[in-house]
Structure 1
């Protein structure tokens, strides 16, 4: 019995390791896209007065590129803390909807595993985990695959924002090279991987139009909440319709 249990445990450990490695390999193209985007953030942060150690501390504790860019653009000396917190919450509110979409795929996990895993959820790891589950026609995500993707992206983000902070004074304004387009390009590729037909993507189109109009008409990051809310409302209204 002990030998059988040991063999089973070894098989489970081997399968978990294989899934984690599969996640890391799948994340490599996205990691490359993260590099330039992280360098931009790190360089901009040092130009606003943050130190080389403060930048990875911020990106490691928050792990939300959009809100970190918003915080850096609003950063002053002394900083307007309440304004930065409010804008960061507004930009990160999309994670509420992302978490709701992921919840059915996490029901098999106890809270002690699901909640720490959600700390590492970003746009890319969320999209890749969902796409992988749908590709396998599974009712749950592969936690090992998800953590492989997430850990690879997390380490890349923190390390290269720190590198950007260290190199920022030397490389100057990195946006002039178009590096800030990397995030948009990566996310467009992820959306392509989640394509399930024009009808299924109607909420995304509405979300895009509403977000674009809000961005043009209102200052700040209200377009994030407006686009997400519009897409969610349309998804609810059109659920089950041809």
Structure 2
């Protein structure tokens, strides 16, 4: 009588699922932080004439909160399409540098996996993915970036943003003028906090001053919102010139 053969238990699918769910679990505080901004953006867009379907379509295709706030703020009837495209390109241009940093960690992947990973990239998922990759590298992992963890973070943030901007578009007309409650200051307030975190002294902030002065002068001289483009480009130019001086 032959002895029974031991059963082979496959744990790989379970470990893959747990690695994916580790992402949204770690990103829960960030997703909670997304909620008020997503709601405010959706409410602002609805008051500019966007439908509850158009808002999540915009946020789902673009997935860049800063550029979306800027586009909604500049929206008019008829819209200044070229200006909005230029502003979106400038604000989202930071993704070129972020993608360049992330690319070496994705080079072992086929394009069908690497391109979706880059599409879902935002500031928060990029930062969390890199932080986790550093921890894995220190632990001696052969592949530093955990794609499942990164996608878990990214998909969680993406769905939170798209869903709650849509909800904001639905409840926006019920709230009325959000400026009366000061909600329209939510994103500028966060931007000021980010600037405070990047403060490195007066010398390093000189490009900010150049950008501020040129934007203010353009606002007074040229109608429309071109002061945003001029301020951004002058700040980048000043940073390039002053970097050569150091």
User: 1:72 — aligned with what?
Assistant: 72
Report the CA distance shift for 1:124/1:231 in structure 2 as closer, same or farther (over 3 A): farther
User: 2:228 — aligned with what?
Assistant: 220
Q: Judge conservation of contact 1:55–1:161 (CA < 8 Å) in 2.
A: yes
Q: Judge conservation of contact 1:124–1:187 (CA < 8 Å) in 2.
A: no
User: 1:180 — aligned with what?
Assistant: 187
User: 1:85 — aligned with what?
Assistant: 85
User: 1:146 — aligned with what?
Assistant: 150
Deviation at 1:227, TM superposition (A): 6.5
Q: Judge conservation of contact 2:210–2:235 (CA < 8 Å) in 1.
A: no
User: 1:122 — aligned with what?
Assistant: 122
Which secondary structure does the structure 2 equivalent of 1:40 belong to?
helix
Instruction: Indicate the structure (1 or 2) with the bigger Cα radius of gyration.
Output: 2
TM-score (norm 1): 0.76
Deviation at 1:79, TM superposition (A): 1.4
Q: Distance in 2 between matches of 1:174 and 1:209?
A: 34
Q: What number of residue pairs does the alignment pair up?
A: 221
- The answer as to 2:112 corresponding to 1:112 is yes
Which secondary structure does the structure 1 equivalent of 2:228 belong to?
coil
Q: Distance in 2 between matches of 1:130 and 1:233?
A: 30
TM-score (norm 2): 0.75
Unaligned runs of 5+ in 2: 216-226
Report the CA distance shift for 1:217/1:236 in structure 2 as closer, same or farther (over 3 A): closer
For residues 149-164 of structure 1, what are the structure 2 equivalents within 5 Å? 149-164=153-168
Deviation at 1:23, TM superposition (A): 0.6
Kindly provide the CA deviation profile for residues 65-96 of structure 1, in whole angstroms up to 9, marking residues without a partner as x.
11111111111112122221121111111110
Q: Distance in 2 between matches of 1:132 and 1:232?
A: 32
Deviation at 1:110, TM superposition (A): 1.3
Which secondary structure does the structure 1 equivalent of 2:27 belong to?
helix
Q: CA RMSD in A?
A: 3.5
**Runs of at least 4 residues of structure 1 off by over 6 A?**
185-188, 225-238
